Amino acid sequence: MKWKELVFGEVVSFCNNIGSRTFSLQDFIKAKLEIFINAKPDNKHVEAKIRQQLQFLRDENKVTFLDNSGHYTLRDIYLLDLEKEETKTLDLTKEEPEKREYIVETYVRRVKWAEQAKEILGDRCLYKECPNTFTKDDGTKYIEVHHIIPLCKGGEDGLWNLSVLCAHHHKMAHYGNERARRDIESFLLNEVKRRI
């Protein structure tokens, strides 16, 4: 197997294992070095090779570098096993693509990337300093996670395409008229870019 496919395959399996699309290179290498050494016994610079392959994968938009400290996010695959598990009880085949997006977003609450979005973007609606929220029994604020560009329209399942919205603006982002949808989309894309 070629290096690039090998690395990508191991990244997918690693993300499935840890249940998160975001991972650190350090953890990845710690968990997988043995596998690469066994697969490519002649290579004396396995770690450097892995880094290089991750750069190739980034150039192909399969992974993104989140920061300079070796954190990456896996893109390119629609749902991790965990996320599939979460949506298994929903019959998505009957839904329109747009509706399906919303259902996946709404139901897949426990998955880690949604948690990461809240950690990084906070628990306040990102739309124009909107104050809408309420406190839940566990003391946390209610907030919804939204794909700014829907997956069905080529949007990516990663932080750069996620935002947090109140229930009202989340509905508006999906069901408002075209002008309202465009307005909220471009506003959110800028807002998220500033924050991550």
Q: Which stretch binds Zn ion (CB under 5 A): 30-38, 62-70, 102-110, 185-193?
A: 102-110
Looking at beta carbons only, is 18 or 152 nearer to Zn ion? Answer: 152
Looking at beta carbons only, is 84 or 168 nearer to Zn ion? Answer: 168
- Give strand ranges (E) for the chain: 22-24, 63-65, 71-74, 144-147, 162-165
Q: Answer yes or no whether residue 130 interacts with Zn ion by CB under 5 A.
A: yes
Task: Select from 21, 32, 100, 146 the one that contacts Zn ion (CB under 5 A).
Answer: 146
Task: Select from 125, 148, 164, 188 the one that contacts Zn ion (CB under 5 A).
Answer: 125
Looking at beta carbons only, is 80 or 125 nearer to Zn ion? Answer: 125
Binding footprint of Zn ion, residue count (CB under 5 A): 8
Q: Answer yes or no whether residue 100 interacts with Zn ion by CB under 5 A.
A: no
* Phi and psi, residue 62, nearest 5°: -90, -25
CA-CA distance, 146 to 52, in Å (whole number)?
33
The encoded tokens of residue 18 equal 């840890």
Tokens 């996320």: give the residue.
83
Task: Select from 10, 83, 86, 105 the one that contacts Zn ion (CB under 5 A).
Answer: 105
The encoded tokens of residue 12 equal 């997918």
Percent helix, strand and coil across the chain, each rounded to 5?
55, 10, 35
| One character per residue 56-75, x = contact with Zn ion (rule: CB under 5 A) | --------------------
CA-CA distance, 84 to 12, in Å (whole number)?
14
Instruction: State the nearest-atom distance from the C-beta of 187 to Zn ion, in Å.
Output: 11
Query: Would you give the DSSP letter of residue 67?
Result: S
Positions touching Zn ion (CB under 5 A) are 105, 125, 127, 130, 132, 146, 166, 169
